[in-house]
Chains A and B, each alone.
Chain A
Amino acid sequence: MADEVTVEVVERVAELANLQLTPEESVAMVRDLNSILEYVAQLSELDTSQVEPLAQVTELMQIGNRPLREDAVVPSLDRGTVMNQAPETDGAFFKVPKVIER
C-alpha cells in the first residue's frame, strides 16, 4: 500500500500544505511519516470493496433531515472589530505582500 516516503516527497507535500520546513525538520518528518504509514498499512488487511465510505455520522441517527434555513440577510460581525485582528490592514482591506513580480 505504501511507497517509502523520501525527503523529496516530504518537501513536495510541504509545498502543497504551504509549510516551509528546515532540512532537519524534513529529515524528522521522513522518519515519522514512514513509521506512521507503516502502521496504518494494516488497514489493507480489511476487504472494503463492498463498503460505502462514511464521511460523517448523522445518517446513522434516526433524526431525518432538517430543512435548510431561510436565505435571509442578517447582521454580521462588526467590520472594525474584525479588521482590528488583521496583521496588516488599512481599516477596510487586508494588506498582503506583493503577489505579482514585475
Chain B
Amino acid sequence: MKYTEKPKTLKQLRVEIETGTTKATDLAKSYYERIERINPALNVYLHLSKDRAIEQAARVDAIAAQGDPLPAMAGIPVGIKDVMVVCGIPSTAGSRILKDYLPPYDATVVARLEAAGAVLLGKLNCDEFAMGSSNENSAYGPVRNPVDPERVPGGSSGGSAAAVAANLAVATLGSDTGGSIRQPASFCGVVGVLPTWGRVSRYGLIAFASSLDRIGPFAGNVRDAATILGVIAGFDPNDATSVDAPVDDYAAECDKPVEGMRIGVPAEYFGEGLDAEVRSAIEAGIAKLKAAGCTIKPVSLPNTKYAIPAYYLVATAEASANLARFDGVRYGYRSPSSENLAGMYRHSRDEGFGAEVKRRILLGTYALSAGYYDAYYLKAQQVRRLLAEEFQRAFAEVDAIVTPTAPTPAFKLGEKTGNPLSMYLADIYTVTASLAGICGVTVPCRTTKAGLPVGMQVLASHLREGTAFRVACAVETVE
C-alpha cells in the first residue's frame, strides 16, 4: 500500500489563508487527523506539539482576519527532525539516552520558522544521533517509506523525508552530515537541500560531527525548499560557526532560465555499483538540462573513491568528542546500576546508546588515540583538502555538477543492517560534498519501473545555493 500524497505548495496555501478560504487552525487540525490515521503505519512522528501548533495557527488566523500582511510561512504546517531542540517538547535525537529530555530553549531554525508564521506539528523520527542511512537505527523503531512500506525511507532524516512524501507536513527540517538530507529525499521522492556549511545556524542542533553537520529543508517542490532556506539561513550570534554573508532571494533564482549554464558531469559518480535504472534516470535528467540550453561538460573528480573512508574517520572522531557530553549527570538517562561515578558514566552510556552509536564512538576514539592520530584522523583531514580542492578546480569550469544522489533506489528494511560497511556505502555520492562544505539540492528525477523515486544531486560551490536551486528547478519542471 502506498501512502504518498503531494502537499499543496506554499503559494497555494498562502492564497487560501490570505483570502480566508482556509483557516490555519483548520489546516493544522486536518494534518493532525491525517497523522493520526497514517503515522501508525509509517512511524514518522515521535512527538506531536499540538497545543503549540494550534496557538500559533490561531495567531496567523487573527492576522489574516485583520487583513494585515502575512509573513512568508504563515500557517504552513511543518515538522522538525528530532535532533533539533524545541523548548518544552521532547527532543530525543532518536536515542534512548534522551528519552525524557525536555530542552529549555528553541533551536534558532525553530525560532526563525515560527517567527515566519510556520506551524510546528511535531518532531520527526531519525537514526539515533543522525547516524545511519536507513532510519533503522532509531531507538523508537524504523520509519517506513511511504512509496513502499517494505522499504526504508533512507536516513538519517528518514522521518523528515517520509513526512513530506506522505503529506504529513507541507515541509520539514532535517540535518545532513554525510548525506542525511539528500539520500532520504531521493529515496522518498521529495526535494532536499544541503546548504553550504555555516549557511544555517546550528544553535540547538544536537551535534554529531561539527565540521560537517548542517540543517536544511525538505519540501514537495524546489521553489518551496528555496523559500524555506531563505527563512532559516543567515548569521546567528548564537552560532559562532554560522557564516556572515548575505542571504540571496533563493525563490527568485528558481525563475531564472538555465540557458547557457555549464553543467559538469563527473564520470567517477557513474561507475561500478550504480544501479542501471538510477543511471538512466539521471541521464534523462541531464538530457533535460541539455534541451533547456545548458552546456554539458565532463569534469574530473579522481579522488572521489577516498571520500567514504575519509568521511568515516572525520565524522566518527568528531562524534566521539561530541557524544562525550552524554554522561548521565546534567540531563538525559542515568543508569540506576552504579555504585560510583565512573561506573555511572559507563552504565548510562552503555544502556543509553544503540549499537551503531557505540560502533562510531569506538571507531572515532580509536582514530584519535595515541599512536593512531596521524595515520587516521590527520590523514583523513589531508584527504579532505584534496577532495575540496578538486571541487574548487571543477567549479572554475562549470556552474553546477550533477550526479545521482544515491547509487540505488530505496532498499528493503533489514537488507543492509548486518553489515555496517555496506550501509556506509549508501552515502557514496553524498559524503564528498559534505567534506568539501559545498551546497546542493536533490530533486526527484524519474521513477524506476517498480515506481521507486530516483533523485538527482545538483551541487554548487560554497554559498551558491541559488545556482543549485535554478538547475534543480529546470530538472523538476521539464518532467
Residues on B with C-beta less than 8 A from A18 are 324, 327, 342, 345-346, 349
Q: Is B247 an interface residue (CB 8 A)?
A: no
Q: Would B365 and A57 count as touching, CB distance under 8 A?
A: no
Of the four ranges (under 10, 10 to 19, 20 to 34, 35 or more), the interface on chain B belongs to 35 or more
Do A57 and B388 contact each other (CB < 8 Å), given the known contacts A17-B362, A87-B332, A87-B334? yes
Given A14-B362, A19-B362: A55 and B105 interface contact (C-beta under 8 Å): no
Residue ID in chain A nearest B100 by CB atoms = A85
Give A72-94 interface residues, CB cut-off 8 Å to B: 77-78, 81-82, 84-88, 94
From known contacts A19-B350, A58-B198, infer whether A63 and B243 are also in contact, taking CB-CB under 8 Å: yes
A101 within 8 Å of B by Cβ?
yes
Which residues from chain A contact B196 at a C-beta distance below 8 Å? 61
Instruction: Give chain B residues whose Cβ lies under 8 Å from the Cβ of A2.
Output: 375
A27 at interface by CB-CB < 8 Å: no
Within 8 Å of chain A (Cβ to Cβ): is B340?
A: yes
A53 touches B384 (CB 8 A): yes
Q: Is B111 an interface residue (CB 8 A)?
A: no
* B350 proximity list for chain A (CB < 8 A): 19-21
With beta carbons under 8 angstroms apart, the residue of A48, A86, A97 that contacts B338 is A97
Q: Is the interface of B mostly helix, strand, loop or mixed?
A: helix
Task: Give the chain A neighbours of B338 by CB distance below 8 A.
Answer: 97
Known: A13-B366, A40-B309. A53 touches B437 (CB 8 A): no
Given known contacts A29-B359, A99-B340, A54 and B366 CB-to-CB distance under 8 angstroms: no
For A68, the closest partner residue in chain B by CB is: B240
Contact string, B195-210, partner A, CB cutoff 8 A, digits 1/0? Answer: 0111000000000000
Query: How many interface contacts (CB-CB < 8 Å) are there between A and B?
Result: 184
- Taking the nearest CB of chain B, how far is it from the CB of A55, in angstroms? 6
Question: If A57-B462, A60-B462, A96-B341 touch, does A32 touch B359 (CB 8 Å cutoff)?
Answer: yes
Q: Are A17 and B365 in contact (CB under 8 A)?
A: yes
| Contact partners of B334 in chain A: CB under 8 A | 87-88
Q: Is the CB of B381 within 8 A of A54?
A: yes
Question: Which residue of B303, B310, B312, B358 is within 8 Å of A36 (Cβ)?
Answer: B312
B198 contacts across to A, CB distance below 8 A: 57-58, 61
Chain A residues bordering chain B, tally (CB within 8 A): 58
Q: Which residues of A contact B295 (CB under 8 A)?
A: none
Complex contacts, A84 vs chain B, CB 8 Å:
102
> Among B244, B358, B463, which residue has the most Cβ atoms of chain A within 10 A?
B358
Chain A residues 1 to 31 lying within 8 A of chain B, measured CB to CB, are 1-2, 5, 9-10, 13-14, 16-21, 25, 28-29
Q: Which residue of the partner chain, among A42, A54, A81, contacts B306 with CB atoms under 8 Å?
A: A42
- Asked whether any CB of chain A lies closer than 8 Å to the CB of B245, the reply is yes
Q: Report whether B241 and A85 are in contact in the complex, using a CB–CB cutoff of 8 Å.
A: no
Contact of A42 among B309, B324, B420, B421 (CB under 8 A): B309
Question: Can you pick out 15 interface pairs between chain A and chain B where the beta carbons lie within 8 Å of each other?
Answer: A1-B375, A9-B366, A20-B343, A20-B347, A20-B349, A29-B359, A37-B363, A43-B313, A54-B388, A57-B197, A60-B437, A61-B462, A85-B104, A85-B331, A87-B333
- Chain B residues engaging chain A, CB cutoff 8 angstroms: 101-102, 104-105, 196-198, 211, 235, 237, 240-241, 243-245, 303, 305-306, 308-310, 312-313, 320, 324, 327-334, 338-347, 349-350, 353, 355, 358-359, 361-363, 365-366, 369, 375-376, 378-386, 388, 392, 420-421, 424, 436-437, 462-463
10 extra interface residue pairs, beta carbon distance < 8 Å, beyond A33-B366, A56-B197, A56-B241: A19-B353, A36-B421, A39-B308, A43-B383, A46-B382, A54-B384, A57-B462, A69-B237, A85-B104, A96-B329
